[in-house]
């Protein structure tokens, strides 16, 4: 029997008593799981990249709220909501760009407000976290179908970062489209950027694709222009951490450059993300907070200094691709071609 990565990889799990995370910092060579019991531990795991990828961060935060509720109810059943406040703030401060985190916290907070006083809220909150998790996987399957339908058979595609089972509730966004397209025989091969400085492409995307027996070639980001010039790919397919109301999309640093290269070479550019990644409060990309991470991530490789002593570094974790460089945004609610403020509002059911 073939083992498909998307069936077996569960980066985020509820054990019945604990939140269990696959430590993505140690992949692909070691599969180590961490069991977490508190919301502050969950926030640290998000910040330190044990779990990463916008939808997976959202799902994790929802389970973090469950852990918080359990402690709050034990400590102070009469004021469990107040007792959770510090935990909610800590979770919200873990990473700034992926809006799925804030979406999940808001969603859980709204449920907290509806729950009755005097009753342990843990079970209800757990049900909701599990629903968020389940809906994310369903949404990915749907996006897989919708995105694959845009791809004509024949050429390879290029992806960036990791948007697969590891980055989501399961299956993946951009990698979900790639999985579906490969299963339909539409794409023969996948090119994956290694994705400095965390190497999500080499360590995580390649690991997932190899397990699914989908042929993958890694490349340094700097090789993408030459790949396109050789006419070897039809689409660049990426995920997103936050999409603004006009369709500008923040994603892993380097995505913007790929979009410019794609337009120059007549390659199409697809962003795949659930509607929980869309932030209608952000008018355009300039309103999206971009996380700056520590300089050691650039100056070192696997914990070992590689840069010349005395050199500094600039390490933004994300960049913003302007909507006009995006050919399609694929969500679980449908595809937005040539995204702009009007068709994004239509998708989200908002008034223009
Ligand atoms: C489905 S994941 C979409 C994005 O979150 C992904 O492309 C990305 O940029 C992840 O960044 P990371 O810093 O690894 O959390």
Q: 96 phi and psi, to 5 degrees?
A: -95, -20
Residues of the chain with pLDDT under 70: 1-3, 350-352
Report how far ligand 1's centroid is from the alpha carbon of 14 (Å).
22
Report how far ligand 1's centroid is from the alpha carbon of 342 (Å).
26
Start-end of H helices in the chain: 5-8, 39-47, 54-75, 80-92, 99-114, 122-148, 174-183, 206-211, 224-229, 255-265, 296-299, 341-348
Report how far residue 238's alpha carbon sits from residue 325's, in angstroms, rounded to the nearest whole number: 13
Please write the tens of the pLDDT for every residue from 328-341: 999 999 999 999 99
Determine whether the annotation assigns residue 52 to a binding site. Answer: yes
What is the per-residue pLDDT for 8? 76
Report how far ligand 1's centroid is from the alpha carbon of 97 (Å).
10
Looking at the CA of residue 57, tell me the nearest atom of ligand 1: 15
What is the per-residue pLDDT for 79? 97
Q: Is 148 helix (H, G, I), strand (E, B) or coil?
A: helix
Q: Is pTM, for the whole model, over 0.95? A: yes
- Exposure letters 203-217 (e unless 16+ CB within 10 A, then b): bbbbbbbebbebebe
| Beta carbons of 167 and 54 less than 8 angstroms apart | yes
Looking at the CA of residue 54, tell me the nearest atom of ligand 1: 5
Question: Within 10 A of 294 (CB to CB), how many other CB atoms are there?
Answer: 11
What is the per-residue pLDDT for 352? 44
Cis peptide before 38 (omega within 30 of 0): no
Cis peptide before 197 (omega within 30 of 0): yes
Give ipTM to 2 decimals: 0.99
Looking at the CA of residue 198, tell me the nearest atom of ligand 1: 14
Sign of the dihedral defined by the CA atoms of residues 348, 349, 350, 352, in that order: positive
What is the per-residue pLDDT for 206? 98
Q: Torsion-angle region of residue 56: left (phi > 0), alpha (psi -120 to 50) or beta? A: alpha
What is the per-residue pLDDT for 6? 74
Report how far ligand 1's centroid is from the alpha carbon of 55 (Å).
8
Ligand 1 probe mutation, 167, 237, 271, most atoms within 8 A of CB: 167
Query: Is 136 labeled as catalytic in the residue annotation?
Result: no
Report how far residue 287's alpha carbon sits from residue 178's, in angstroms, rounded to the nearest whole number: 30
Looking at the CA of residue 175, tell me the nearest atom of ligand 1: 1
Which residue has 């209800």 as its token pair? 124
Strands 242-244 and 190-193 come out as unpaired
What is the per-residue pLDDT for 1? 46
The catalytically annotated residue of 136, 193, 212, 241 is 241
What is the per-residue pLDDT for 2? 54
Report how far residue 152's alpha carbon sits from residue 185's, in angstroms, rounded to the nearest whole number: 10
| Beta carbons of 110 and 102 less than 8 angstroms apart | no
What is the per-residue pLDDT for 9? 84
What is the per-residue pLDDT for 344? 98
User: Domains along the chain?
Assistant: 5-138 (1.20.120.420), 150-348 (3.40.50.10470)
- Which residue ranges have their beta carbon within 6 Å of ligand 1? 52-55, 98, 161, 163, 167-168, 173, 200, 239-241, 251-252, 317
- 239: nearest Cα among 27, 25, 56, 26: 56
Report how far residue 42's alpha carbon sits from residue 137's, in angstroms, rounded to the nearest whole number: 21
Please write the tens of the pLDDT for every residue from 88-137: 999 999 999 999 999 999 999 999 999 999 999 999 999 999 999 999 99
């Amino acid at each position: 029997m073939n083992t498909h990565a998307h069936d077996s990889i569960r980066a985020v799990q509820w054990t019945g008593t604990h939140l269990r995370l696959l430590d993505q910092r140690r992949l692909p060579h070691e599969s180590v799981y961490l069991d977490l019991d508190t919301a502050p531990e969950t926030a640290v795991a998000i910040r330190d990249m044990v779990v990463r990828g916008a939808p997976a961060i959202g799902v994790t935060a929802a389970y973090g709220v469950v852990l918080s509720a359990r402690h709050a109810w034990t400590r102070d059943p009469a004021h469990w909501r107040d007792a959770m406040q510090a935990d909610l703030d800590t979770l919200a401060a873990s990473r700034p760009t992926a809006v799925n985190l804030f979406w999940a916290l808001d969603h859980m907070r709204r449920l907290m407000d509806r729950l009755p006083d005097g009753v342990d809220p843990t079970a209800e909150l757990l049900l909701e976290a599990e629903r968020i998790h389940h809906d994310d996987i369903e949404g990915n399957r749907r996006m897989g179908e919708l995105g694959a339908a845009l791809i004509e058979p024949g050429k390879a595609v290029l992806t960036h970062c990791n948007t697969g089972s590891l980055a989501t509730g399961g299956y993946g966004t951009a990698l979900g489209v790639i999985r579906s397209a490969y299963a339909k025989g539409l794409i023969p091969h996948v090119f994956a950027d290694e994705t400095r400085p965390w190497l999500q492409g080499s360590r995580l995307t390649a690991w997932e694709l190899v397990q699914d027996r989908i042929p993958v070639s890694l490349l340094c980001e700097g090789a993408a222009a030459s790949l396109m010039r050789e006419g070897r790919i039809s689409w660049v397919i990426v995920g997103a951490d936050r999409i603004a109301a006009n369709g500008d999309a923040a994603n892993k640093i380097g995505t913007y450059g790929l979009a410019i290269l794609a337009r120059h070479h007549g390659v199409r550019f697809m962003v795949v993300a659930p509607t929980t990644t869309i932030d209608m409060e952000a008018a355009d990309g300039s309103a999206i907070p971009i996380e700056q991470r520590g300089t050691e991530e650039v100056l070192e490789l696997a914990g070992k200094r590689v840069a010349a002593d005395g050199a500094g570094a600039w390490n933004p974790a994300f960049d913003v691709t302007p909507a006009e460089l995006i050919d399609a945004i694929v969500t679980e609610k449908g595809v937005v071609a040539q995204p702009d403020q009007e068709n994004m509002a239509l998708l989200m059911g908002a008034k223009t």
